Each structure stands twice: as structure tokens, then as C-alpha cells.
Amino acid sequence: MAKIVFLDEYSLGDMDLSPIKNLGEYVGYERTSKEQVLERCQDAEVVICNKTVLRGETLRALPNLRFVAIAATGMNNVDLDVAAELGIGVKNVAGYSTSSVAEATMTFALSLLKNTEYFDNYFKSGAYAATEDIFHFGRPVRQLRGSRWGVIGMGAIGREVARLASAFGCEVAYTSTSGAARKEDYPQMPLEELLAWADVVSIHCPLTPTTRGLIGEKELAMMKPTSIIINVARGGIIDEEALANALNNKTIAGAGLDVFSREPLHSSPLYALEDNYTLVAAPHTAWAADAARTVLIQRIAENISEYLNQR
């Protein structure tokens, strides 16, 4: 029976892991520090990890390891070159969170346009109860219908966001960060043109040398002062200091962030905005709907089963 070690169970929350546990001799750890990785993987034939790093020197020191199941889409936490050299299979899970991330994108947009947090706080603070006014117009309330939505990165998630935005009555266009020319249902624009055109910009491209710092001071200055930007892709794509300045200077109207340059984000100018209501943020949870995590666990189990059946 294969020994299966999961190094960072916490990354899947409180989900039922029995589809994975039933596949072999299972050992799970809530978290694993870099100093603990080698010891905990010593006898493992299969290792599961989400963000825990498996470096080349670690892989070389694990003669029993034959398969790494990545509990995510990104594979940059494993030295793939060394794994291939050693004949260690590595497989990720793609596409499990498309709906969850797309819905989170729409939630960020609606929260910012409707100023949901502000009005919720106005109600819960007692301010509404203390007034004679039925209505309160302390911040703008805007609608999506009739607005322009620009998608950066027309992959599976970007395509689903475009579909949802269209259903809300938005005019949609996109820009390709890879340079690939594919037939899409929406017009393609250069990034600079898209930024100037859009009322809502959402980012769905991978973090690569080309996209790192893609949105900085210059790009934010191209946007409308009434526009908002949403990043549910990777934190390094937006320059966070430039974004904080743009929000403080009212260069743009708002931002929705689910990802950050460092996670967790211990210090940042985003924590000291002059107007906190211009930012809606979440701790990298856009992907984490229960339904998405259930699919993720099932596919991790399928990947391991496929390896076990072929060995």
C-alpha cells in the first residue's frame, strides 16, 4: 500500500479528505515548514502539496517519492526540471475553480459599484436608525448595465467573467497578455486602449516575467477616474504601491483584490488608504467555494489513482 503524505491540509479548509485518505497509507499535516519537508516525506511514495515548496535538493533526497499531486493549479512550488530528471510524476488540477473565481470577480465589482460595505456599515452603526430620512446618499450607487468591462487574460476564467458581464448588460472587450490570437466572442484591444476604454477592468492572466508589474503607475493613469480594477489572478501583476497612490489621488475610483505580492500581506500602503471604501479585499479566497474545493479533492484523488493504477 502506497504511503501518501499531505504536507499542508489547512490549504483546503475543513473539507472531507476521505477520497484521498482511502487510497493508501495516509499521513496528513496541517502545515509543514521548509525545515520539516524532508523528514515528513522520507518514506512517502506520493506527496500532496498546495503551497509547500519541494526544491530540487529535497526531491533528490527522497528515493521513494514517485508522484507529487499538487492541490492547486499553479505548479511553481515544485522543481519540475529535477522531478522530470528523476522520473517523479507531477500533476496539478486545472479548471476546478473557474465558476468560483468568476463569481468572486462579479462580487468585487458589484460591491464597489454599489458601495455595499459603506451602506452596510451605515445601517449597522445605528446611523440609519438615528435619522428621519428614508434614503441616504452618502456614496455613489452605480450599475453594471451599460458599462464597459475589460478582461485582461481570456482564459477559462476570463471567458466566464466575460460571459457573466455580458449577462449583466456590459459591453466586453479583452486583451491577451500572451499575444495569442484566438477567435473569441469579444473584440481584442491593446492593453493601453483597453484601460482607457473600460469602466471595469478585471485581471485573469498568469504571473509571468511579461505580466509581473503589468499594471503600474503609468497604466493606472490611463484609466478613467470613475473606473475600478479587480485582480483575482496573482498579486505581482499590480504594483500595490502605485495602486494605493492611484486610490488616494482618485486616479481611479476603486479596486478589488483577492491576491497580493506577498501572502499573507504583513505590511502595505493598502492598509493606510485615505478612503478605505475604495478598496474591497479578501485573503485569497476567490477560488475557495465549497463546491470548488470538493471538485479539487476529487481530482487530486483521481490523479493519485491514475498514478497508482499505472505504476
**Where residue 179 falls among pLDDT bands split at 50, 70, 90?**
confident
Does residue 311 surpass a pLDDT of 90? no
Q: Based on the fold, state whether residues 128 and 253 are members of the same structural domain.
A: yes
pLDDT for residue 279: 98
Does residue 4 surpass a pLDDT of 80? yes
User: What are the tens digits of pLDDT across the range 255-310?
Assistant: 999 999 999 999 999 999 999 999 999 999 999 999 999 999 999 999 999 999 99
Residue 234 annotated among the catalytic residues of the structure: yes
| Joined grid coordinates for residue 12 | 483546503
Does residue 180 surpass a pLDDT of 80? no
- Domain that includes residue 174, residue range: 98-281
Q: Tell the burial category of 33 from Cβ atoms under 10 Å away from its Cβ (0-12, 13-18, 19+).
A: exposed
Q: What percent of the chain has pLDDT over 90?
A: 97
Q: Based on the fold, state whether residues 243 and 297 are members of the same structural domain.
A: no
- Strand order across the beta sheet in which 89-91 lies: 25-28, 3-6, 46-49, 67-70, 89-91
Catalytic residue chosen out of the listed positions 30, 85, 192, 263: 263
Q: Based on the fold, state whether residues 255 and 118 are members of the same structural domain.
A: yes
Q: Based on the fold, state whether residues 250 and 105 are members of the same structural domain.
A: yes
Residue 121 CA, chain-centre distance (Å), reads: 27
Q: Based on the fold, state whether residues 61 and 133 are members of the same structural domain.
A: no
pLDDT for residue 223: 98
Does residue 181 surpass a pLDDT of 90? no
Q: Based on the fold, state whether residues 277 and 172 are members of the same structural domain.
A: yes
pLDDT for residue 188: 96
Q: What percent of the chain has pLDDT over 70?
A: 100
Model's pTM, two decimal places? 0.93
Q: Based on the fold, state whether residues 242 and 275 are members of the same structural domain.
A: yes
Q: Based on the fold, state whether residues 54 and 121 are members of the same structural domain.
A: no
Q: Based on the fold, state whether residues 176 and 304 are members of the same structural domain.
A: no
User: What are the tens digits of pLDDT across the range 114-133?
Assistant: 999 999 999 999 999 999 99
Output the CA torsion sign for 246, 160, 107, 165: positive
Q: How far apart are CA 238 and CA 223, in angstroms?
A: 14
Query: What's the structural domain count of the chain?
Result: 2
Residues 5-17 have a mean pLDDT of: 97
Q: How far apart are CA 258 and CA 270, in angstroms?
A: 13
Catalytic residue chosen out of the listed positions 25, 284, 302, 306: 284
Domain CATH number, residue 65: 3.40.50.720
What phi, psi does 169 have (nearest 5°)?
95, 20
**Where residue 183 falls among pLDDT bands split at 50, 70, 90?**
confident
Residue 263 annotated among the catalytic residues of the structure: yes
pLDDT for residue 182: 80
pLDDT for residue 197: 98
Q: Based on the fold, state whether residues 259 and 132 are members of the same structural domain.
A: yes
User: What are the tens digits of pLDDT across the range 50-70?
Assistant: 999 999 999 999 999 999 999
Catalytic residue chosen out of the listed positions 66, 159, 204, 234: 234
Among 265, 224, 231, 221, which Cα is nearest to 104's? 231
Does residue 212 surpass a pLDDT of 90? yes
Contact between 151 and 186 (Cβ < 8 Å): yes
User: What are the tens digits of pLDDT across the range 185-211?
Assistant: 999 999 999 999 999 999 999 999 999
Residues 227-244 have a mean pLDDT of: 98
User: What are the tens digits of pLDDT across the range 141-177?
Assistant: 999 999 999 999 999 999 999 999 999 999 999 999 9
Q: Based on the fold, state whether residues 210 and 232 are members of the same structural domain.
A: yes
Q: Based on the fold, state whether residues 198 and 224 are members of the same structural domain.
A: yes
Pairing mode of beta strands 228-231, 279-281: unpaired
